[in-house]
A and B are shown apart, each in its own frame.
Chain A
Amino acid sequence: MAETPSVTLYHWEPNANSGKPMLTLFEKGVAFDSHYLDLLNFDQHKPDYLAINPLGTIPAMTHGDLVLTESTAIMEYVDEAFPGPRLMPDSPVDTWRVRWWMKFMDQWLAPSFSMIGWSVFVGPSVRSRDPAELDAAIERIPLPERRIAWRKAISGAFSAEEMTESQRRVAVGIGLLEQALGQREWLASDSYSLADINGFNLAYALPLSQPHLSNDELTPNIMRWLRAIYARPATKSCWALGRTDMARRVTILEGEPA
């Protein structure tokens, strides 16, 4: 019998881009080797990993000899390449809507969450390290855009204007999510899909990180949706791979509606 090619996922916490393919693999029931990279320790810029993904961003996945990057495209690949429950809807219009939401989140909403996250969490977490060591670490980053982002996060140099714009987008995005989830059970269709997996990775900690914008009174549909995803066995298994308090924020979803 031919050997089934094995899957290895290089990821950080179940969160944002890392969590998207992780949760997809769990939902599909695909066994994979988990290769944890500590983003705050700059593991993603070390030679071993750059040999896999020269861009030095997480996640990446190998399937046999194939190397795949770009978390959302990896999710579609996993859904198509493996047996298990389909995570794309049957209807072509719903399929379009899944992709629309994933793009909107990946390229418009998530970067704003990221900017806030990097300024309140990533920057402060590494700031106190030896400046010379940090400098050397930043010099190893392949993407010039990311060198700038890391420097800004470490020195706390995001402008008030940038932060205000990110906060505005977060508020708009929460409004649109609530509106969409008021129209149907899942984000983009009547069945659980990659859009929900993507969205959960972005929004699971909303009631903690944006309590004034997202809670049981203001966004009941978002809260219902987050709890429903958290209740899935795949989500539990996936978040169990988290090693830090960041992933543990998900437990806020254990509470019942107030």
Chain B
Amino acid sequence: MTITLYHGEPNGPSLTVLAALFEKGADATLERIDLAAGERHGARVPHAMEVDHSIEGEGPVLVVDGIPMADSVFLACYLDDVGPGPALCPSEPYDRWRMMTWCRYIVERVAPAAAYLGVAANPPARVPQGVASVDLAERWSDAVAGKIDDARRADSHDKIVQAVERIERELSDGRDWLIDAFSIADLESYAWLAGMTELVPEAFADRPRTAAWLARVMARPAVARALAMATSAAPEHIWAPGPEINRWG
């Protein structure tokens, strides 16, 4: 089995997958790409329908024996299946359900908000060539043009506030991690929220359990190693168009 990971700066979905790879000690070749310049759409990265139409937007691509795969949570699940390191998913079905529904909440409600605010604060320079998905191409044009909708910005802000409230509540029984043992839920939540501490500071004010949890995730050797791969001074400022904000309920 040969694995190659094409990843961007350690922020958002690239951070999830890099850290999962290091947590699991899976053998992979790392290829750095500039997600924020749209390099995923160019000739350097293998293409597949599942990458072109991944609704995560700009995220890392994992190529396993020639098969290009996308979507950070599911890539992390894949690495959990194949890597030798300690499990990143619970073993009991009910706890696995808790992890999957938590990740679904992050992916569906929080990631679009974080990407919207992140891109608004750090707009990409130009729209890349060859974006196959029509709606992703539109998010690129809007981001480059600085076309920010006030209602969406406000809604995204609320979503970040709610996410931190939810984490604070979740950890209120004194747990260290979101689903009992450390899991992909911690990685995915951290990866999208780390850059929000600066953009939505009010959400994190007076949230001691969340602050301690963020510090715990950041201190994990695998996360530290992923963060140390940054080529920019502040990887949490590097954003590219992400998942869309729900069109329907």
A99 pairs with B74, CB closer than 8 A? yes
Q: Interface segment, B7-15, B35-43, B100-108, B186-194? A: B100-108
Answer yes or no: B71 CB below 8 A from chain A CBs. Answer: yes
Helix, strand, loop or mixed for chain B's interface? helix
B94 pairs with A77, CB closer than 8 A? yes
Distance of A169 Cα from B71 Cα, bound (Å): 19
Query: A-facing mask of B167-187, CB < 8 A → 1, else 0?
Result: 000000000000000000000
B246 pairs with A76, CB closer than 8 A? no
B50 pairs with A97, CB closer than 8 A? yes
B97 pairs with A143, CB closer than 8 A? no
B53 pairs with A145, CB closer than 8 A? no
Answer yes or no: A51 CB below 8 A from chain B CBs. Answer: no
Q: Interface segment, B76-84, B121-129, B139-147, B211-219? A: B76-84
Q: Interface segment, B62-70, B195-203, B222-230, B231-239? A: B62-70
Answer yes or no: B249 CB below 8 A from chain A CBs. Answer: yes
Query: B-facing mask of A154-177, CB < 8 A → 1, else 0?
Result: 000000001001001100100010
Q: What residues on B are CB-neighbors of A180 within 8 Å? A: 49
Q: What residues on B are CB-neighbors of A103 within 8 Å? A: 55, 71, 74, 107
Distance of A143 Cα from B246 Cα, bound (Å): 14
> Considering the complex, which residues of chain A in the window 74-102 have a beta carbon less than 8 Å from any beta carbon of chain B?
74, 76-77, 80-81, 92-93, 95-97, 99-100
A70 pairs with B101, CB closer than 8 A? yes
The size class of the interface chain A forms with chain B is: 35 or more
Q: Interface segment, A108-116, A123-131, A204-212, A250-258? A: A108-116
Answer yes or no: A66 CB below 8 A from chain B CBs. Answer: yes
Answer yes or no: A241 CB below 8 A from chain B CBs. Answer: no
Answer yes or no: A179 CB below 8 A from chain B CBs. Answer: yes
A76 pairs with B100, CB closer than 8 A? yes
Q: What residues on A are CB-neighbors of B74 within 8 Å? A: 96, 99-100, 103
Answer yes or no: A37 CB below 8 A from chain B CBs. Answer: no
Given A70-B101, A99-B74: A176 and B49 within 8 A (CB)?
yes
Answer yes or no: B44 CB below 8 A from chain A CBs. Answer: no
CB distance from A114 to the nearest CB of B (A): 6
Distance of A208 Cα from B75 Cα, bound (Å): 36
Answer yes or no: B96 CB below 8 A from chain A CBs. Answer: yes
B78 pairs with A114, CB closer than 8 A? no
Contact for B249 among A72, A95, A100, A145, CB less than 8 A: A145
Distance of A169 Cα from B244 Cα, bound (Å): 14
Q: What residues on B are CB-neighbors of A122 within 8 Å? A: none
Answer yes or no: B93 CB below 8 A from chain A CBs. Answer: yes
Q: What residues on B are CB-neighbors of A145 within 8 Å? A: 246, 249
Q: What residues on B are CB-neighbors of A162 within 8 Å? A: 247
**What are 24 inter-chain pairs, A to B, with CB distance below 8 A?**
A68-B94, A73-B100, A77-B94, A77-B97, A81-B93, A92-B81, A93-B64, A93-B69, A93-B78, A97-B69, A99-B71, A99-B77, A107-B108, A111-B248, A112-B247, A112-B248, A143-B249, A145-B246, A146-B249, A149-B249, A165-B135, A172-B134, A176-B49, A179-B49
Q: Beyond the given A73-B104, A104-B53, could you list 5 further A-B residue pairs with CB under 8 A, ordered by the A residue number?
A: A92-B81, A93-B69, A96-B78, A103-B74, A145-B246
Those 3 A-B pairs whose CB atoms lie nearest each other, nearest first: A111-B248, A92-B81, A80-B93
